[in-house]
Amino acid sequence: MRKNMRKAMFLAVISAIALVSCTADLSTPADSGTSGVQIQNESYFEDESEKSYIPLNYTKQTGLWLPYMDFENYMYNKSEEEYRSELKKIISSAKADNVNTFYFHVHPNGDAYYKSDIFPKGVYYTGDYDPLRIMLDEAHGAGISVHAWLNPYRMQTAEQMENMPDDFIVKKWVNDKSPMVKIINNRWYLNPAYDEVTELISSCAEEILENYDVDGVHIDDYFYPTTDIEFDKAEFESSGESDLQQWRQSNINKMVKSLYDTVKKYNKRLKFGISPQGNIDANYNSQYADVELWAGEKGYADYIIPQIYFGFKNETCPFEATLHKWEELTADRGVSLIIGLAEYKTGEEDKWAGESGEREWIENPDIIQQQIELVEESTADGYALYR
């Protein structure tokens, strides 16, 4: 009752501001001897009775992203029994590849693949069952950690938004022509300049943490949707700041910090992770993502997973050199480095790699295994696969 009242109050406050603006509980004991399991001993709650869940996390991650695009194959128009059966196949395959951590896409486009009082159901979520709860049940039963994967700013397409419920807070902002939401290339995006937007994003994590025994929260590389100065020109001019790039970075940093604090408020043992672009410079130049801060200063992330989706012959970011740059960035900083690998590129032409690397993924079928071996020899704490 209390948490529902808080949600109702939050939505009421946000709506008012908009008008003005125009599973299984898998507890692993510390002495269990389970290989690679990381159980933190520090206590956040003074009242021990408040600790209801000990998250399952690993010092050495072997991660796997489960993106919403694949939900069409194993969730869309599936019964609960069919969905659970498909998950068991995914888990079995993952276990065979030594995967110990899932990043499960619960909030990809301003929607929810879980039971939400804030966001509408995702387009592939057609059943009455709870896909996140079933995922937690099946994955935890197999000893796999589950991190709730969010896209903070990306919302529905223009056509999808028209069909959203009228009480959906973002649709209210759209209808009220609020500057807190902008349309770019036929898709709506939240405007990072507003505290109300950061509060809404944090409420997404809060709702999940209140209702599910997830082991962490995870975001990837969707930050500013454009570098166009017109996107938030009015907000920048009214801010009194003089450096647009620094100001935009600050806006993103506030959101990241808010998510981290929200996670830790519920349980300091939970993990918060970020998966930015593998090209360090591109993070700053195209998305205003301050990866050096996140990887180097306490209070922004527990782990960082750069998407080093490059071959060894990539002319801009060759894999080995890029790996070493990330090692230097995270060295002795207290943030775990996990390396994101592009398994999906195997056997495909890489049009962005330059002439020397264009056919590398076709001509070298063992490229992922070679990259895994390099990661295991490095200072990184594991790797994650995008298939």
- Tens-digit pLDDT string for the chain (387 aa): 444 444 444 444 444 444 333 333 333 333 333 334 443 333 333 443 345 789 999 999 999 999 999 999 999 999 999 999 999 999 999 999 999 999 999 999 999 999 999 999 999 999 999 999 999 999 999 999 999 999 999 999 999 999 999 999 999 999 999 999 999 999 999 999 999 999 999 999 999 999 999 999 999 999 999 999 999 999 999 999 999 999 999 999 999 999 999 999 999 999 999 999 999 999 999 999 999 999 988 899 999 999 999 999 999 999 999 999 999 999 988 999 999 999 999 999 998 888 888 899 999 899 999 999 999 999 999 999 999
pLDDT of amino acid 165? 95
- For the chain, where are the E strands, in sequence order? 37-38, 57-58, 61-66, 101-107, 145-150, 154-157, 181-184, 187-190, 216-219, 271-274, 303-304, 336-337, 339-342, 382-386
DSSP structure class, residue 129 = S
pLDDT of amino acid 217? 98
pLDDT of amino acid 51? 53
- The set of residues, in sequence order, having a beta carbon less than 8 Å from that of 181 and lying 6+ positions away, is 155, 170, 173, 174, 188, 189, 190, 191
pLDDT of amino acid 3? 44
Distance CA 64, CA 387 (A): 8
pLDDT of amino acid 6? 45
**Contact of 150 with 218, CB cutoff 8 Å:** yes
Tokens of 259: 């998510």
**Contact of 101 with 376, CB cutoff 8 Å:** no
Q: Which domains does the chain have, with CATH numbers?
A: 2-26+59-305 (3.20.20.80)
| CA 286 from centroid of its chain's CA atoms | 18
Tally the C-alpha atoms within 13 A of residue 278's C-alpha that lie toward its C-beta.
21
